[in-house]
Amino acid sequence: MPTLRLALAQVNPTVGDLDGNARMVRESSRAAADAGAQLVAFPEMMLTGYPVEDLVFRDSFVAASRAALHRLAADLAADGLGELPVLVGYLDADGPPAMSADARPRRGPRNALAVLHGGAVVATYFKHHLPNYGVFDEDRYFVAGDVLTVVRVGGVDVALTICEDLWQAGGPFAAARRAGVGLVVTVNGSPYELDKDDVRLPLVRRRAAEAGATVAYVNMVGGQDELVFDGDSMIVTADGALLARAPQFVEHLLVHDLELPAAPAAPTHPDGPGADRAARAEGAGGADDLTVARVRVGDELPSPPAPRAEGGVAEAVTGEAEVWRALVLGVRDYVRKNGFPSAVLGLSGGIDSALVAAIAVDALGPQRVVGVSMPSRHSSAHSRDDAAELAKRTGLDYRIEPIQPMVDAFLANMSLAGVAVENLQARVRGVILMGLSNQEGHLVLTTGNKSELAVGYSTLYGDSVGGFNPVRDVWKSMVWRLARWRNAEARRRGEQPPIPENSIAKPPSAELRPGQLDTDSLPDYPVLDAILAGYVDGDAGRDDLVAAGHDAALVDRVLRMVDLAEYKRRQSAPGPKISIKAFGRDRRLPITNRWRERGSAPAPAADQPTDARGGYAGL
């Protein structure tokens, strides 16, 4: 059996940075060649970054992607890497988008994969299965391919597939089996969510068995707006053996020697486009007919140089450690890729701001994080002390800006009372943070967790102000778990825990009026989060939640708060997705919406939405 030394380049591209992404391909291809690799694969849409969203509709961007691909092929040859086959994802098009009056059937923008060799583009593959759920809108952007490309490299037939092709039975993997390939390479832009790494390995095993071939899965790593890509690249044999697996959340070049079946001297079907019309796959559950196009890439390869390349199997990251790494990577890349020099946030002494500060310090370093204590007359001494203690432990730039004189100035000129005064305090704090952002260039980090976003427990243009929210997709119950984990991890390393114990242990409060607690307005968070997880993440209805054991009146109250807070969530900052259903592109509901789950409690007068910090107060 031939031995093929394969390199999977788990790298961190940036959307729109064609030159930078091409440079990354050249650098990693050089490292792969130096390691003796005979084939190197990069992630989905590597050259353009992923997802490109409506950039697909710009002819200038499509043209730039195609030009960059051909320039990259020439540059690789100029680098002395022309004999190394390089698989690179990019944006292509063979017709205008479907929305165009000039659109043609089965033609349009393509999520594409190219084989670069000898200074040229020698083969292409267009993604067949297009996801149209969750954060994915690929049916809006792309046209599905109907040809499976098989390239012969070093005496081995290698089928090319892209991401969603792996997640559905039949189609390319069934066609790969009929084509008799020895290896299927699947390039991916698969976003992270909690425990997704536990789903991927069984999935890759199923597709490897379906194809009757080894499967090499390469995924990108890094943050892109609210998405975080965790890598987790791997190689699995047809019988399910895990040969190699890359670590999560870091760039990594996985190099491994594969013993693969030799391709027949002559394929069962003639070479060339239009040959080998594949019949419907048994058990595919669909009517996908794929043509197999065969391309020979280079000459027969000698055995790779000694010693044998073993990619190794990285230890899995689980639980809170996994979530922490995702949040840190999401913050770091959002700041870095958008050109912010630093971040600023309000430090109240509470658990949410303490957690966000710890994440930001881990992501950026303490010298690039500014924490601002903004006490009012209602801020407790222990909260001020806790904020100062966190700053001391983490080493971030700590500042104190008392807000009471500013609040008093407003009240001297406006007649406000009750919740309006509470919200005024939050809005003064927002003005301070945005002022520092404008003056010094910081990115403002907001600190509202997913539970608060769900029920509208935030003040518009106050505590919700900012450009990025590290805990947007983190339930309050998970906030506490992450804080305890981070402190325990610090103790394990022999370091001082970053988060003061009092911030974790004390009852949460907005401290906008005397003696205020979150439980004045909300159920206990463990109870609340259980209802919210069912309704938001699981799309459970009112009766389902009551049948699960939740109090009916409480369910009615919580569901109403969630429904009426949609307009606030639309105006909230993006943040890293870690759950199966994050607010935003994952969960899209109309703001103007009179549908209520059956049994919902009657609305208060004028059906006013809830305010973050108490009562029904409009904004």
Look up residue 406 and give its two tokens: 């500013």
Cα distances (Å, whole numbers) of residue 395 to 297, 388, 392: 55, 10, 5
Cα distances (Å, whole numbers) of residue 414 to 406, 407, 424, 432, 618: 12, 10, 11, 20, 18
The neighbouring-strand residues paired with 41 are: 8, 87
The number of CA neighbours under 13 Å toward the Cβ of 597 is 23
From 27, 53, 163, 440, active-site residue:
163
From 127, 450, 476, 577, active-site residue:
127
- Please state, as a whole number, how many other Cβ atoms lie within 10 Å of the Cβ of residue 337: 18
117 SS3 class:
strand
Q: Which of 597, 416, 393, 429 is nearest to 503 (CA)?
A: 393
Q: Which residues contact 563 (CB under 8 A, 6 or more apart)?
A: 593, 596
- Please state, as a whole number, how many other Cβ atoms lie within 10 Å of the Cβ of residue 566: 18
Specify the amino acid at residue 273.
P
Distance CA 212, CA 182 (A): 8
Distance CA 479, CA 469 (A): 13
Q: Is 127 a catalytic residue?
A: yes
From 44, 193, 210, 452, active-site residue:
44
Could you tell me if 545 and 433 are in contact, meaning their C-beta atoms sit under 8 angstroms apart? Answer: no
Specify the amino acid at residue 72.
L
CA pseudo-torsion sign 278, 283, 284, 285:
positive
Specify the amino acid at residue 536.
V
Q: 35 burial class (0-12, 13-18, 19+ CB within 10 angstroms)?
A: middle
Cα 294 versus chain centre, distance = 34
Q: Is 44 a catalytic residue?
A: yes
Cα distances (Å, whole numbers) of residue 485 to 315, 324, 383, 488, 577: 19, 9, 22, 5, 19
Q: Which of 81, 71, 172 is nearest to 127 (CA)?
A: 172
- Please state, as a whole number, how many other Cβ atoms lie within 10 Å of the Cβ of residue 274: 10
Look up residue 341 and give its two tokens: 């020099």
Q: Which residues contact 67 (CB under 8 A, 6 or more apart)?
A: none
Could you tell me if 234 and 203 are in contact, meaning their C-beta atoms sit under 8 angstroms apart? Answer: no
Q: Is the previous residue joined to 576 through a cis bond, with omega within 30 degrees of 0? A: no
Distance CA 346, CA 362 (A): 17
Look up residue 357 and give its two tokens: 């500060």
Strand duo 156-162 + 183-188: pairing: parallel
Q: Which residues contact 573 (CB under 8 A, 6 or more apart)?
A: 446, 464, 466, 467, 468, 469, 472
Cα distances (Å, whole numbers) of residue 166 to 9, 121, 146, 187, 190: 18, 24, 15, 9, 11
Maximum pairwise Cα distance, the chain: 89
438 SS3 class:
helix
- Please state, as a whole number, how many other Cβ atoms lie within 10 Å of the Cβ of residue 606: 8
Residues designated catalytic: 44, 127, 163
